[in-house]
Amino acid sequence: MRSIRRFLLVSLLGAVVLITGLAAFRSYEDASHEVDELFDAELAQMARVLQSLLTVQLKRTQLDSLRDSLSYKPYPGEERPSDPFAEYGEATALGHKYERKLAFAVWNNEGRELLGSGSPDGGFPFVAEVGYGDTDLAGAPWRTFSLYDPELEIWIKVGQRFDVRSELTDEIVLHALLPLLLIIPLLLVVIWWVVGRGLSPLLRVSRQVTSRDQHNLAPLDTEQVPEEVEGVVSAINALLKRLDDALSRERQFTANAAHELRTPLAGIRIHAQNLQRQLGSQGDRGEESGAGATPERRLPRAPDHILEGVDQMTHVVEQLLRLSRLEHEQSLSFQKLDLVPLVQRVVASLAPLALKKQQTFGLDVDEGAVLAIRADETSLEMMCRNLVDNAVRYTPAGGEVRIRLQPLNGAVELGVEDSGPGIPSAERERVFERFYRLGSQGSRGSGIGLAIVRQVASSHQVRVELGESSLAETGLSVRVQFPLNPLKG
């Protein structure tokens, strides 16, 4: 999934780097242009100063002595292999090392050199053209300016190596951009903080949604929600309202239907019991009189089937009513209670059903143990009853059902194991859905028992784990762990 935070950070940081790079390039171009103009003007000025000096000096001074005085003379110690200015910097009391990067030459009309600075890179070639030009001396590029004096009939050319200009340009750009380069890390931190601050309303809404359980359909908090997010929050609240209304209508229908079914089911059961007694009494009279087989005797199990169906429907209705009460319960009454007597009551109430199926049925708990937890007694007993009832119902006759209570790792574990058909691992999450039943199991369950178990477990902030039973290869193990520490709230 694409991250808005990552997109904004990458985009903004990329824009900062790109703009900084463009600014550096533009600054270098501007600085290079300005430096070229400055040094070009300086070359022209040097040539004209040299022209004015030569107008006077050529009349008073011997050309040889003038040439000797203007020639380049190495500084003491420059003959050493190392740079004489390296130890003292670029400028010393003896001069500046850039003097070797400046040169001039004077020619007559025939191209004979009259004067020259004697540059270490060699002399300029004679070219009878005035103005600016570029040339190479000893493999180094030079910028030159030439002029012609018609009175003295001489050509004057002054020059400067290009690396002087480029070095100055680099220094100017570096000093201009260095503060910006130092600010970029701070700017990155500011951008990261601003992006996080701007996305905080979305994170708050996300936390509100993810922190809720499946039963909390209250509207999201709209305080301090910016305009850009307000539409999304309003749409979510409208969806939650419609969903809450739909679920309320479903729960109300379930409760009403269950209540309406209880009375006719009770009446059908009474009539089936009366029919069973009548058929039984008629069968007894037929045997005493020696009469042949009657229709009543041929159908001795019909009332039993009716009663079995009625009991099954009654169980479904009772489960629906329990689930409806749990879903409508706004707040549970949590209090400290001992889990041992509660489970003992459940086991005692379901023992007759286990004995009827000739099952090995029992509770394993240390004698005198007190396993206190904080819970709602009514809903917790409902959960325990459904777990044990499911185990007894789905375990075949002659099987085994074992309930265990034990302290474990700072918690109280309730375990129910059976030797029934079990639940495939791929189906263990779906069996908690309402009315979901496994087609491979022979017992006719309501499909609501484990939905009630999950509802109670969710309200107690505990998890129900399904696993393999140690009693049989195909059995089921159900474990629920309750914290010994009292629940908050």
In a domain, 145, yes or no: yes
In a domain, 489, yes or no: no
Instruction: Provide the pLDDT confidence category of residue 21 given band limits of 50, 70 and 90.
Output: confident
Beta partners for 231?
Answer: none
Distance CA 194, CA 484 (A): 45
Question: Is the domain of 477 the same as that of 443?
Answer: yes
Distance CA 219, CA 81 (A): 85
pLDDT at 79: 46
In a domain, 185, yes or no: no
Domain's final residue, options 294, 328, 362: 328
In a domain, 196, yes or no: no
Residue at 255: amino acid letter:
A
Question: Is the domain of 304 the same as that of 419?
Answer: no
Mean per-residue pLDDT of the chain:
77
Domain's final residue, options 311, 328, 345: 328
Question: Is the domain of 299 the same as that of 340?
Answer: no
Distance CA 441, CA 394 (A): 7
In terms of Cα–Cα distance, which of 404, 321, 308, 319 is closest to 356?
308
pLDDT digits (tens, 9 = 90+) for 341-397: 999 999 998 999 999 999 999 999 888 788 888 888 888 888 898 899 889 988 999
Domain's final residue, options 328, 356, 376: 328
Question: Is the domain of 355 the same as that of 305?
Answer: no
Question: Is the domain of 293 the same as that of 159?
Answer: no
Give 173 or 401, the one with higher predicted confidence: 401
Sequence-distant (6+) residues with CB within 8 A of 108 are: 114, 153, 154, 155
pLDDT digits (tens, 9 = 90+) for 62-91: 555 566 655 555 555 444 444 544 444 565
Distance CA 348, CA 343 (A): 9
In a domain, 187, yes or no: no
Question: Is the domain of 305 the same as that of 357?
Answer: no
Distance CA 414, CA 465 (A): 11
pLDDT digits (tens, 9 = 90+) for 144-164: 999 998 888 889 999 888 888
Would you tell me how many other CB atoms lie within 10 Å of the CB of residue 453?
22
pLDDT at 274: 73
Question: Is the domain of 77 the same as that of 104?
Answer: yes
Question: Is the domain of 337 the same as that of 382?
Answer: yes
Sequence-distant (6+) residues with CB within 8 A of 440 are: 421
Please provide the DSSP assignment of 438-455 as one string: -TT--S---S-HHHHHHH
Indicate which CATH number applies to the domain containing 39: 3.30.450
Q: What is the DSSP letter of 111?
A: -
Indicate which CATH number applies to the domain containing 461: 3.30.565.10
Which residue range(s) make up the domain with 444? Answer: 331-483
pLDDT at 280: 67
Counting the structural domains of the chain, the total is 3
Rounded mean pLDDT, 53-68: 64
- The pTM of this model reads 0.45
In terms of Cα–Cα distance, which of 47, 59, 61, 64 is closest to 115?
64
